[in-house]
């Protein structure tokens, strides 16, 4: 029997409408479930059960009056540390931060609060969001619910872990090089990196987006219906679009027939693809092909010059931020991050410009390479989850970005891209399938991801809290 904390947002919304279950009952169940998991999982920071229950009571009263704020009114949600929520500090995962309460909600948090979501708390992340890991100098070490000895990935580490563990149905993350898709893939859940500008974010940066992490594609679509509403604070946001976010289910036999899918199994740079990951993605492609899609190989387009140039630019940017801190605060930054940014001090202006120019080069290469396809299938990560204590799959600051060869290009190209669970390794660790669409076709990515949910073999049962 499905317990309350496992119910989807779509199911909860219908249950609230029919008054068969209440937001308070659900929130109490989720809180109890979190309390069983959290001492070992460490996915949350700023967990506020009493504040969440107050929100749940208010939502319950609105449903009883027949005046819900939205379909998500009363549905539990978590929000990543680096998305401002009014009255709470934003440590950015690092002990170097000064804990100053935020004056206002950032746009994505504001949309969720306006929709009546029950905000359970903030989720953990690594220092400055610059690791694909749950390792942080500020937060406790976040772990993977499928195997507590393994990493959940990052930088939306706590969000991915919370979704996999069943901390309610909705989780909000951010992604600049894979930070939604990587933890979603390694934690066996769904994560959408929307088109750049689709979700107003408040502090825009090249490649940076906010998006949903959920167990079900439909729940992510419900979040997008809320998150994509306009906010003047993001000058890079797309114009409001009339998108029917819940028009997800397609006629598999008819609508997949003739769909052109690129299959990318070599990123062109970085870590080699693990055999189990490769086999799982190939099997997914064959299922789409059996349903009538046309699957063709996509040759690598990411070069070492592109990847290493962007890495160089990011190191300089982060070195400038960290070097500007007072010495005592600077010493609190995670040593791996300090080692990663250190070469940035030696980069001259010409090398910095060449690195920055690789963003445009990669954007053009990605759009050009993928344009002939309706969608692209690939691994999310070349490797399965890695040890919890490691900062990266390589655990080497010199090769810090070598696992993002499949995800990074689509941040730079601004294309919507999702991670959806495709299976497990022989030892039970999740493997993510990346589905990428053309620029601005967010709904298309959600629809194909939903189709994959219907095509794939049954997945393993969700992990349970340790005894």
At 350-398, the pLDDT tens digits run: 999 999 999 999 999 999 999 999 999 999 999 999 999 999 999 999 9
452 contacts 420 by C-beta, under 8 angstroms: yes
At 386 the pLDDT is: 97
At 343 the pLDDT is: 95
At 203 the pLDDT is: 82
Annotated active-site residue in 70, 155, 378, 421: 155
Annotated active-site residue in 80, 122, 150, 193: 80
193 catalytic? Reply is no
Among residues 102, 106, 194, 154, the alpha carbon closest in space to that of 439 is found at 194
At 158-172, the pLDDT tens digits run: 999 999 999 999 999
What is the C-alpha separation between 181 and 189, in angstroms, rounded? Answer: 9
| Per-residue confidence in pLDDT tens, the chain, 467 aa | 569 999 999 999 999 999 999 999 999 999 999 999 999 999 999 899 999 999 999 999 999 999 999 999 999 999 999 999 999 999 999 999 999 999 999 999 999 999 999 999 999 999 999 999 999 999 999 999 999 999 999 999 999 999 999 999 999 999 999 999 999 999 999 999 999 999 999 888 899 999 999 999 999 999 999 999 999 999 999 998 999 999 998 888 788 999 999 999 999 999 999 999 999 999 999 999 999 999 999 999 999 999 999 999 999 999 999 999 999 999 999 999 999 999 999 999 999 999 999 999 999 999 999 999 999 999 999 999 999 999 999 999 999 899 999 999 999 999 999 999 999 999 999 999 999 999 999 999 999 999 999 999 999 999 999 98
At 184 the pLDDT is: 98
Annotated active-site residue in 70, 179, 421, 449: 179
Residue 409: other Cβ atoms inside 10 A: 30
179 catalytic? Reply is yes
Which domains can be identified in the chain, with CATH numbers? 9-227 (3.90.1300.10), 260-305+350-454 (3.90.1300.10)
80 catalytic? Reply is yes
Q: 425: burial class by Cβ within 10 Å (0-12, 13-18, 19+)? A: middle
The contacts of residue 33 (CB under 8 Å, 6+ apart) are: 3, 5, 165, 166, 167, 465
Within 13 Å and on the Cβ side, how many CA atoms surround 22?
A: 14
At 360 the pLDDT is: 98
At 412 the pLDDT is: 98
**pTM across the whole model:** 0.97
At 251 the pLDDT is: 83
């Amino acid at each position: 029997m499905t317990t309350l904390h496992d119910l989807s947002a779509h199911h909860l919304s219908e249950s609230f409408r029919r008054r068969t279950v209440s937001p308070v009952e659900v929130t109490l169940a989720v809180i109890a479930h979190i309390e069983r998991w959290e001492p070992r999982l460490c996915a949350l920071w700023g967990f506020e059960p009493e504040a969440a229950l107050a929100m749940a009571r208010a939502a319950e009263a609105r449903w009883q009056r027949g005046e819900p704020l939205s379909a998500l009114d009363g549905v539990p949600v978590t929000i990543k540390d680096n998305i401002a929520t009014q009255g709470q500090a934003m440590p950015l995962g690092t002990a170097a931060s000064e804990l100053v309460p935020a004056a206002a909600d950032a746009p994505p948090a504001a949309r969720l609060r306006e929709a009546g979501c029950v905000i359970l708390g903030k989720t953990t992340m690594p220092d400055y969001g610059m690791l694909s890991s749950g390792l942080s100098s500020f937060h406790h070490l976040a772990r993977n619910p499928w195997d507590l000895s393994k990493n959940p990935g990052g930088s939306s580490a706590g969000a991915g872990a919370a979704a996999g563990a069943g901390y309610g149905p909705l989780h909000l993350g951010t992604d600049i090089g894979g930070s939604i898709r990587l933890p979603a893939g390694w934690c066996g859940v769904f994560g959408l990196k929307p088109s750049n500008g689709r979700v107003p974010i408040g502090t825009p940066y090249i490649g940076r987006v906010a998006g949903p992490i959920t167990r079900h594609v439909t729940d992510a679509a419900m979040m997008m219906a809320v998150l994509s509403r306009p906010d003047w604070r993001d000058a890079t946001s797309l114009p409001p679009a009339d998108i029917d976010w819940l028009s997800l289910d397609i006629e598999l036999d008819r609508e997949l027939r003739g769909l052109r899918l690129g299959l990318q199994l070599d990123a062109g740079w970085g870590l080699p693809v693990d055999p189990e990951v490769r086999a799982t993605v190939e099997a997914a492609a064959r299922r789409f092909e059996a349903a009538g899609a046309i699957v063709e190989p996509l040759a690598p387009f990411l070069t070492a010059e592109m990847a290493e140039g962007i890495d160089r630019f990011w190191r300089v940017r982060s070195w400038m931020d960290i070097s500007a801190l007072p010495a005592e605060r600077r010493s609190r930054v995670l040593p791996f991050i300090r080692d990663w940014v250190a070469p940035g001090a030696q980069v001259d202006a010409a090398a910095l410009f060449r690195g920055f120019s690789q963003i445009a080069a990669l954007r053009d290469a990605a759009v050009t390479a993928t344009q002939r396809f309706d969608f692209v299938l690939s691994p999310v990560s070349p490797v399965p989850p890695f040890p919890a204590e490691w900062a990266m799959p390589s655990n080497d600051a010199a090769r810090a970005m070598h696992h993002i060869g499949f995800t990074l290009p689509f941040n730079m190209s601004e294309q919507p891209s999702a991670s959806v669970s495709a299976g497990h390794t022989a030892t039970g660790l999740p493997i993510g399938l990346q589905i990428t669409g053309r620029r601005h076709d967010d709904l298309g990515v959600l629809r194909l991801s939903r189709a994959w949910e219907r095509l794939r073999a049954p997945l393993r049962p969700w992990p349970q809290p340790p005894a």
